[in-house]
Structure 1
């Protein structure tokens, strides 16, 4: 074997990953190995992945357009349903234009690699998603990371009119929000562009679910590049980059993962469009989610684990030791709750955790059951 996988070493350290086979998912529950579980590991924050409206939209689009886009967007893959989705996304979020991608990973890679050259700088929050960190490492730009949400550290690193500042709306492992008032102020003062990855804020936060910027009262036009995904609160999959028409036209020509990839299947685009329309009217679901978050945080406050200060659907319980984290996740699973055990390198060493995610689909009884099992695990 020409490379060293070190799987035995990873297993010995409690870091080896395995791929569970999920037999089916229905709302807040999933089934594996013939057993049902309450699902506290997914990102279906509003419970839309099983919505009848999304199923019906996908079925109708499959009959009208077929099940595949058959080519990349610039060949013959861009269809009427894609254009309608782009236009409604832009109107909803107050953007001039948007571009659709197959995933948030490919969208982040595309925009950073297309926009930045060796003459540019890239400043990233240290806790940014792996897709952003890898895109920066692969781009010719000079990348610097700054301490999480530390505007003083970022200010000391910035160079005037030299590149791009990137941070997240809601951080996927900690559940806290980026400091978007501070970030926009520094970007304006330094003359640099700003990009938000709002994968975990879109649909959940802000007026009509417009995301983190809306939640914090920051105008969309203050951030030159917006990335959002459809696989979290919108319940489908895929992603988009939004911004000015000039930016989107540039990416049409230079974003390689857009130019050279088959476009989103029409049924997927139709389901996303249905989700966009539902999310704007889902204020009751967002309130239900906030209530489940309050209930959970109050219920686990006395546990001997660090509960990070998150007001979002992502509720991390820091266990620290990798093996103990795995054992606790296994205990929860034995009692019918499926929870993710997150370990390095996804999170920093010493911060292994249970990444508990809540949904508007969860009932008060569901969350109470999780709380009671966590208390009984001690």
Structure 2
């Protein structure tokens, strides 16, 4: 691994200068280009002027900034939930959710769940999501137990694959399900820029909860939980929520007022995705509308690097594995960036 790319001293963007050389950058998780969005930056600066740099008091303090409740209401309305809860990180949002709700029933993990969802050690589940869903459907419907907690990512962003939860419609209605889904990579991108909650099964015996980092597409250092009013109220009563400091209020101000920015950048991203996919000659694995593209052609990373193009490339599943090579598109990429990338890829044999 080239060490000069391990200590970059500038903001990530579509183009960077490293050791005097210019590179196009197709990696990271800033799918909507928020870290370089001038209009969003101005909103954040306005939030800083109004609320200061941070807020180190807990949400149980007798003096509260109202913007946190406002941001939770906006998030719930924007992503089609009854209620919302915001924490200082996606990891905290996931941990308080799984630790509080896992007592409801028999806990089952889907394959490849993010570590933030683990209650303790890494779950033993492996294999594909499709096979797992078939096995779990049969297991639950033939079990004497009636209360279940299913925990899963909304997608595997590395492959990539968006998971289909429609199998839950065939769960026997006598079974009560809490479904916890981590939508950190999908929120603001998949489902027309909404969240996974809009695509999950709607049944009386299934109570869906979505957790997410807001630090990826949404560009805010915070975590989010979406669910029913009853569920969110229960989570807000936990010591983990009560005792933790909230995220910076400036970020909440920007999030509240940035809906038009998010929508505009989502449209730009979709144009970039279409431009890329329509011009490719090589076969890359991708999900429609999601900006990650997996190449299973060894050496493509070095070929692109030789042409001053940086992509996401790291060993997976362990340090001795072959690199997993992905192109990540963002809304900050220009048409000329996409065209140069495609032309360079198409010269690789």
Do they fold alike, i.e. is TM over 0.5? Answer: yes
**Which stretch shifts more, 172-181 or 159-168?**
159-168
1:68: how far off?
1.0
Q: Corresponding residue for 2:244?
A: 261
Q: Corresponding residue for 1:238?
A: 222
SS of 2:218's equivalent in the other structure is coil
SS of 1:75's equivalent in the other structure is coil
1:310: how far off?
2.0
SS of 2:276's equivalent in the other structure is helix
- 5 Å-filtered alignment, 1:200-211, equals 200-207=185-192, 209-211=193-195
Distance in 1 (alpha carbons) for counterparts of 2:326 and 2:19: 22
**Which stretch shifts more, 329-338 or 183-192?**
183-192
Q: Corresponding residue for 2:294?
A: 316
1:333: how far off?
3.2
2:177–2:207: 8 Å Cα contact kept in structure 1?
Answer: no
1:255: how far off?
5.5
Q: Corresponding residue for 1:199?
A: 184
Distance in 1 (alpha carbons) for counterparts of 2:71 and 2:9: 31
1:126 equivalenced with 2:111 (yes/no): yes
Distance in 1 (alpha carbons) for counterparts of 2:3 and 2:22: 22
1:39: how far off?
2.1
Distance in 2 (alpha carbons) for counterparts of 1:232 and 1:161: 36
Distance in 1 (alpha carbons) for counterparts of 2:82 and 2:15: 39
SS of 2:225's equivalent in the other structure is strand
Distance in 2 (alpha carbons) for counterparts of 1:239 and 1:180: 23
1:77–1:263: 8 Å Cα contact kept in structure 2?
Answer: no
Which residue of 218, 233, 256 maps to 1:249?
Answer: 233
Which residue of 261, 270, 273 maps to 1:293?
Answer: 273
Q: Corresponding residue for 2:312?
A: 340
Residue-by-residue CA offset, 1:173-215 (whole Å, 9 max, x unaligned): 12221103223543856321112211222112334x212443x
1:95–1:220: 8 Å Cα contact kept in structure 2?
Answer: no
Q: Corresponding residue for 1:272?
A: 255
Inter-CA distance 302–371: structure 2 relative to 1 (3 Å threshold) = same
1:77: how far off?
7.8
1:57: how far off?
2.1
Distance in 2 (alpha carbons) for counterparts of 1:233 and 1:169: 15
Q: Corresponding residue for 1:362?
A: 333
SS of 2:61's equivalent in the other structure is helix
Inter-CA distance 137–95: structure 2 relative to 1 (3 Å threshold) = same
Inter-CA distance 144–332: structure 2 relative to 1 (3 Å threshold) = closer
Residue-by-residue CA offset, 1:254-309 (whole Å, 9 max, x unaligned): 252x3333210111222222334532xx1x54343233323333444436xxx324
Q: Corresponding residue for 2:83?
A: 97
Distance in 1 (alpha carbons) for counterparts of 2:154 and 2:226: 14
1:362: how far off?
1.7
1:145: how far off?
5.5
Distance in 2 (alpha carbons) for counterparts of 1:130 and 1:218: 25
RMSD: 3.2
Q: Corresponding residue for 1:167?
A: 152
Inter-CA distance 63–364: structure 2 relative to 1 (3 Å threshold) = closer
- TM-score, normalised relative to structure 2: 0.84
1:85: how far off?
0.6
1:96–1:245: 8 Å Cα contact kept in structure 2?
Answer: yes
1:302 equivalenced with 2:282 (yes/no): yes
After the TM superposition, list the runs of 4 or more consecutive aligned residues in structure 1 that deviate by more than 6 angstroms.
Answer: 16-19
Distance in 1 (alpha carbons) for counterparts of 2:106 and 2:6: 40
Distance in 2 (alpha carbons) for counterparts of 1:289 and 1:245: 33
Inter-CA distance 177–248: structure 2 relative to 1 (3 Å threshold) = same
Q: Corresponding residue for 2:61?
A: 75
Which residue of 18, 30, 33 maps to 2:19?
Answer: 33
Residue-by-residue CA offset, 1:292-344 (whole Å, 9 max, x unaligned): 323333444436xxx3242211111124xxxx56xx43443342222111322
1:103: how far off?
2.0
2:151–2:179: 8 Å Cα contact kept in structure 1?
Answer: yes
Residue-by-residue CA offset, 1:11-59 (whole Å, 9 max, x unaligned): xxx8x99972232236523343344322211222222222233222221
2:137–2:167: 8 Å Cα contact kept in structure 1?
Answer: no
Instruction: Structure 1 unaligned segments of length 5 or more: list them.
Output: 1-13
